[in-house]
Chain A
Amino acid sequence: MSALHAIELTLDEEQRDCYQEITNVAMGQAADLLARLLNVYVILPIPNVNLLEVTELQMALSELENSQSVSAVCQGFIGAGISGEALLIFNDASFEDIARLMDFEGEVDDSSEVELLTDVASILNGACLNGIAQQLDVNFSLGHPVVLGQHCSISELVKAENKQWKKALAIEINYHIKDYDIDCDLLLLFTEDSLLSLNHRISFLL
């Protein structure tokens, strides 16, 4: 451990660009899956890749949603010396439209929202992480999605997600569904210990 921590973790522009492009491809695959399932078009932005101090995480998160009420699930992943958490944050206003698109019948209450949240998370997280793993030529095992909070603020979420990390490679993806009021952010956080393996993997691609 000490040897590992002696190395200053950095992310140069070439590496950042490479992670961004890998994410771009992976998020496209995830969006395609969702688009075909729900018969919609997912608007894809350019993903954000940053090496964050965990203290900066809260700031990054609060920029995602303007203090709106949100619900979130997280899902751990691990494989080939790489591990992290996928955090999917939904604007609560999205649920009505998601329920409609997924042909959900009946009243949308807290428990059905959990169901919808977990369903969408499985699709988006799974496809996106698989897409990244495929390009890096590794395999990730995914944990079960866990609901972090419902109808809470971002700062409450960050408290719930307070891991013992100093730094993390953070990849932010905003998914917006065209013609619907559905907006969510997928935040992929790779632990600082993963960065060596990750950088090693992309060195084969550069």
Chain B
Amino acid sequence: MATPILICDDSNFARKQMARALPKNWEVEITFAENGEVGLEAIRAGKGEVVFLDLTMPVLDGYGVLEAIKANDLPAMVIVVSGDIQPEAQERVKKLGAMDFIKKPTDNEKITQVLTQFGILES
């Protein structure tokens, strides 16, 4: 069965870049969201088993999404994909329950490595 994936980023270019970086042999159903609020709705609708989440976004940012997932115990494995790579940002998202932190710009190799590491993708 295809895994429901959510790509949440305010930049259309970044969303496309992220979608292109997904492993080719991974059977997925991709949903896109342009801000955290739209992203949360998708997660609540079961469209985000695995979430690739940006941090700096209008309406609701990535931190807000992580807080809401934690507070409501929503079923989502979140991988933060961000341009803000400062140590404090990385620590903060890990504390909020993000599985991992990937620096932008990302590529196929990095994504595959992280997905394999967490057993989401079988090696």
> Which A residues have a C-beta under 8 Å from some C-beta of B?
14, 17-18, 20-21, 24-29, 31-32, 35-36, 41-42, 44-46, 135, 205-206
Interface size on B, residues (CB 8 A): 19
Q: Are B86 and A21 in contact (CB under 8 A)?
A: no
> B13: which of A14, A29, A36, A41 is its contact (CB, 8 Å)?
A14
Q: Are B12 and A28 in contact (CB under 8 A)?
A: no
Q: Are A17 and B12 in contact (CB under 8 A)?
A: yes
Binds A, one of B41-49, B66-74, B77-85: B77-85
CA distance A46 to B11 in the complex (A): 10
CB neighbors of A among B1-19 (8 A):
10-14, 16-17
Nearest Cβ on chain B to A12's Cβ, whole angstroms: 12
Q: Are A32 and B85 in contact (CB under 8 A)?
A: yes
Q: Please, which residues of chain B bring their CB within 8 A of the CB of A24? A: 11, 14, 56, 83, 104
CA distance A32 to B16 in the complex (A): 25
Q: Please, which residues of chain B bring their CB within 8 A of the CB of A205? A: 13, 17
CB neighbors of A among B65-103 (8 A):
82-89
Closest residue of chain B to A28, judged by CB?
Answer: B83
Q: Are A21 and B82 in contact (CB under 8 A)?
A: no
CA distance A44 to B83 in the complex (A): 10
Q: Are B86 and A25 in contact (CB under 8 A)?
A: no
Q: Are B11 and A14 in contact (CB under 8 A)?
A: no
Closest residue of chain A to B106, judged by CB?
Answer: A25
Q: Please, which residues of chain B bring their CB within 8 A of the CB of A20? A: 11, 13
Q: Are B13 and A46 in contact (CB under 8 A)?
A: no
Q: A17-B12, A24-B11 are in contact. Are A45 and B86 (CB under 8 A)?
A: no
Q: Please, which residues of chain A bring their CB within 8 A of the CB of B58? A: 46
Nearest Cβ on chain B to A32's Cβ, whole angstroms: 5
Q: Are B86 and A35 in contact (CB under 8 A)?
A: yes
Q: Are A28 and B82 in contact (CB under 8 A)?
A: yes
Q: Are B88 and A35 in contact (CB under 8 A)?
A: yes
Q: List 21 A-B contacts (CB under 8 A).
A: A14-B12, A14-B13, A17-B12, A17-B13, A18-B11, A20-B13, A21-B11, A21-B13, A21-B83, A24-B11, A24-B14, A24-B83, A28-B82, A28-B83, A28-B86, A28-B104, A32-B87, A36-B86, A41-B86, A41-B88, A42-B86
CA distance A18 to B56 in the complex (A): 15
Q: Are A36 and B87 in contact (CB under 8 A)?
A: yes
> A135: which of B85, B86, B105 is its contact (CB, 8 Å)?
B105
Closest residue of chain B to A44, judged by CB?
Answer: B84
Q: Please, which residues of chain B bring their CB within 8 A of the CB of A27? A: 83
Closest residue of chain B to A34, judged by CB?
Answer: B86
Q: Are B105 and A25 in contact (CB under 8 A)?
A: yes
Q: Please, which residues of chain A bring their CB within 8 A of the CB of B88? A: 35, 41
**What would 6 more interface pairs be, CB under 8 Å, given A24-B14, A32-B86, A206-B16?**
A14-B12, A18-B11, A25-B104, A26-B83, A27-B83, A35-B87
